[in-house]
Structure 1
Amino acid sequence: MNTDIVTLMGERQTGYSLPGPFYSDAGIYRLDTDRVFGKLWMLVGHVSQIPEPGDCFLAEIAGESIWVVRRDNDEIGAFYDVRSHACHVLVFEGLIFICLAGDSPPDVGPTLQEMAPFVKPQNLAGARVIHETVLATDANWKLVVENFWECNHCEPSHPEFMTVHDRNWMLAMGAGLGACVSEQAAMDYQGKFEAFEERAQQLGHPFGSASKLGLASTEFWQVLRSPLAEGCYSETRDGKKVGPLMGDLNDFDGGMTHISFNPLASLWLCNDHAVTFNFRPMGPMSTDVHMMWLVDGDAEPDKDYTVEDVAWMWTATGLQDKTITENNQSGVNSSRYQPGPYSLMERQLEDFVQWYFARLRETGNGS
């Protein structure tokens, strides 16, 4: 690793944002490609996008073009565009992941086993993609990740998001599992959270949380079920129901499931639809933000749902995040930029930085 990068890592103050070059330098981006996202399982799509043998789609990540195809034996394969070289591929509950690692890819089997009980009841494997969008964002991938992994900006920046999420949730848990920036908010929220978990349990729905984050961890993932705002059933306009229940769910429980597979891939599940997020680094200051919406495989368009209703909240929020992140890139590009301290609401960003630095230091596979 370049000695200048080692020096930058050593000079970085704990609890502060990264030095400017980490958000723009081409050499650091090349190292990121080799050591970080080049060894992650990257979420690229869903099996419903390639329903028949021979169907395929192209995924572009960090200068690589990967064809994802359904083979004649119905299995999912992935291949580099420039040569007949296979790419590692993994399918989890219908979601398709690829890994650019040249040798053995990381083993995420144990992690996916912990996540499976939160996903299986919604039969995501039998769901269907109804809408996709790509937000070409002029910002380094780490700025995109940092924005997604904190909610300090949510109340002033995301009015649509806040109509369906409890402000006390944001203050009590919006900084991460076990986090609390307001004891009063936590006390006010606790009763609602317990009532939600009791209802979920009565319905036979999943509840609880699991995670592996923080210092010295080679992994960075979490699962959390939590209630939506009072009277809301889904992350939609006015919190209304916008489609039939997914999979084997018995009733609307007023909650949602947040799953992050790694810093670049996440899944949000409401009872009637799902949204995936995958951040694809395209250059030192360029990241494609892919969002994909799914509903139950038997749901009929215009009869059971409309794309506008299902995609309303995250369409607005995604565009707002694009603006925020691009403004942040302009800020760190300034000659006057100095790393600043993370707030209590941004505590998980320190976990992310420590995970990131650990990946830069290692030469083998992680997860």
Structure 2
Amino acid sequence: MIDGKTLHPLGGGRTLAAMSTPSPAMSPATAHEATSNLPELLERRRAGFSLEAPFYTDRDVFRADMTGIFGTYWLFAASIAEIPEPGDYVTVDYGPYSLIVLRTDEGGVSVLHNVCRHRGARLLPETQGTVGNIVCGYHSWTYAADGELLHAATAPDEKFDPKCFSLKKAHTRVVAGLIFVCLAPEPPTDFDDVIPLIEPYLAPHDIARTKVAYQQTIVEEGNWKLVMENNRECYHCVGHPELACSLFPTWGLTEGMIPPHLEEVWERNQAAERALQERCDRYGLHWEVLEELDTRIAGFRISRESLDGAGESFSETGRRLSKKLLGDLRDFRLGRCSLHLQPNSWFHFLSDHIVTFAVYPLDEGRTMVRTTWLVADDAVEGTDYDIDELTNVWKQTNLQDKAFVELCQLGAESPVYEQGPYMKSEYQVEAFINWYTQRMREHLGVVPAA
């Protein structure tokens, strides 16, 4: 089931007028209007503080992000549960890039640029579907699932070589059923080192034996970095009443950071963590925190963490939302395996279902967020799970996050916006911004100030 519609990238954006670079003595209003000279912005990035306004509002910065981040590093695209049969496909857009993620007849995954090699027409405009060969709707050039050009009507002359006009491909990796793509000519190899670290956490949930129960697609009127920043902290989680029933509001806090009104919750959380770790050890499941969010190119964080209440799932009582266990799991009370990956995804792997979150930038002020709920492939809607109950917590949380992001975007566009400090519990936001600025400095050849 699909909730939402496809929006095309690069529409309705705003570009700041070029002016002189601000000095430290400039007022916030003057600095806000200053040029988005990205190397200078990166060079003066203030550690521990939010980014300057052009990072969130300027079209030139957005275009640089699309090249330096989304055109360079490994990105989450979809799961194999979204393309279960040969010929099934989804299309994903990252700013100006559009990709076809297609299940092949052999059961593999082919990722092709969604651009005809004749005159550049968009080949598959729908967000999902099933195809045999890929036929361009403009002049009927026809391609195989691997991108090979099979037919071009009335080819120009005998010198025309179809082999020279195959669809362009993106690099692909499937990790425990999650499909990642890289648009760079040569993808970073660091991701190869991360895969064996995260795969053992995810494999027991067996995405290959799941199906899509529901998919929600929403557009947030905010820059993609604001969407990611919002996800990387729980300082705002008081604004998520449905989620707070099962997710401990002390997430992100450590000993010595607990406010008095959360001390009882902290103790309950610690007891639940100890019980979960004992249960995981019994079943041979990984639970340790592995965290390298800004210390490597393929920044990530993975752990298995307890949930409140019954500790089984994201529900009002913490109890399971599907009667079917995933994979070969033997217990419902396994909390959540949480995975964060830079730059565009996060995931929750539970015993009864999986939730994937993918961020697709549209332009400097709009971002599409796609949330997909996966259940066991033999689970029956209405018998084993209720679709409204299954999706309620994260549908509501996503809409609340959308509102928070849009408030931040409005603030970043104000002439009086200036950078504010991150709190200790927002360390993952700082790590995301560190990761982003490091990657962009490398892309532009900027040497950080001493």
Superposed pair shares fold, TM > 0.5: yes
Q: Please give the alpha-carbon distance, in whole angstroms, between the structure 1 residues aligned to 2:340 and 2:394.
A: 16
Report the CA distance shift for 1:4/1:87 in structure 2 as closer, same or farther (over 3 A).
Answer: same
Report the CA distance shift for 1:158/1:180 in structure 2 as closer, same or farther (over 3 A).
Answer: farther
User: Of residues 72, 76, 95 in structure 2, which corresponds to 1:39?
Assistant: 72
The 10-residue stretch of structure 1 (132-141 or 84-93) with the greater mean CA deviation from structure 2: 84-93
SS in 1 for 2:228: helix
SS in 1 for 2:213: strand
Q: What amino acid maps onto 1:124 in structure 2?
A: I
Q: What amino acid maps onto 1:11 in structure 2?
A: R
Residue 150 of structure 1 and its aligned partner are, at CA, apart by 0.7
Residue 70 of structure 1 and its aligned partner are, at CA, apart by 1.6
Report the CA distance shift for 1:118/1:67 in structure 2 as closer, same or farther (over 3 A).
Answer: same
If the length of structure 2 is used for normalisation, what is the TM-score?
A: 0.75
Q: Is the 8 A contact 2:303 2:339 kept in 1?
A: yes
Q: Please give the alpha-carbon distance, in whole angstroms, between the structure 1 residues aligned to 2:416 and 2:274.
A: 47
Q: Give the paired residue count.
A: 355
Residue 52 of structure 1 and its aligned partner are, at CA, apart by 2.5
Residue 228 of structure 1 and its aligned partner are, at CA, apart by 0.5
Larger Rg: 2
Alpha-carbon RMSD: 2.1
Residue in 1 that maps onto 2:38: 5
Residues 170-219 of structure 1: CA distance to partner in whole angstroms, max 9, x if unpaired? 2xxx25xx6762287456643332122112222333322212123x5323
Higher helix content, 1 or 2? 1
Matched, 1:58 2:98: no
Q: Please give the alpha-carbon distance, in whole angstroms, between the structure 1 residues aligned to 2:36 and 2:289.
A: 40
Q: Is the 8 A contact 1:88 1:105 kept in 2?
A: no
Alignment of 1:196-345 (within 5 A): 196-214=276-294, 216-243=295-322, 244-345=324-425
User: Of residues 81, 106, 126 in structure 1, which corresponds to 2:209?
Assistant: 126
Matched, 1:72 2:105: yes
SS in 1 for 2:429: helix
Residue 317 of structure 1 and its aligned partner are, at CA, apart by 0.2
Percent of aligned positions with the same letter in both sequences?
32
Q: What amino acid maps onto 1:182 in structure 2?
A: I
Q: Is the 8 A contact 1:140 1:284 kept in 2?
A: yes
Residue 117 of structure 1 and its aligned partner are, at CA, apart by 1.3
Residue in 1 that maps onto 2:248: 166
Q: Please give the alpha-carbon distance, in whole angstroms, between the structure 2 residues aligned to 1:63 and 1:320.
A: 28
Q: What amino acid maps onto 1:221 in structure 2?
A: F
Residue 86 of structure 1 and its aligned partner are, at CA, apart by 1.1
Residue 23 of structure 1 and its aligned partner are, at CA, apart by 0.4
Report the CA distance shift for 1:136/1:40 in structure 2 as closer, same or farther (over 3 A).
Answer: same
Q: Please give the alpha-carbon distance, in whole angstroms, between the structure 1 residues aligned to 2:276 and 2:105.
A: 45
Residues 59-104 of structure 1: CA distance to partner in whole angstroms, max 9, x if unpaired? 1111122111122222110111113111212211222222121333
Q: Please give the alpha-carbon distance, in whole angstroms, between the structure 2 residues aligned to 1:343 and 1:60.
A: 33
If the length of structure 1 is used for normalisation, what is the TM-score?
A: 0.91
Residue 141 of structure 1 and its aligned partner are, at CA, apart by 0.6
Residue 38 of structure 1 and its aligned partner are, at CA, apart by 1.8
Residue 280 of structure 1 and its aligned partner are, at CA, apart by 0.7
The 10-residue stretch of structure 1 (49-58 or 185-194) with the greater mean CA deviation from structure 2: 185-194
> After TM superposition, which residue ranges in structure 1, 4 or more long, deviate above 6 angstroms?
none
SS in 2 for 1:362: helix
Runs (5+) with no aligned partner, structure 1: none
Q: Please give the alpha-carbon distance, in whole angstroms, between the structure 1 residues aligned to 2:36 and 2:237.
A: 38
Q: Please give the alpha-carbon distance, in whole angstroms, between the structure 1 residues aligned to 2:396 and 2:355.
A: 14
Residue in 2 that maps onto 1:94: 177
Runs (5+) with no aligned partner, structure 2: 1-34, 118-166, 445-450
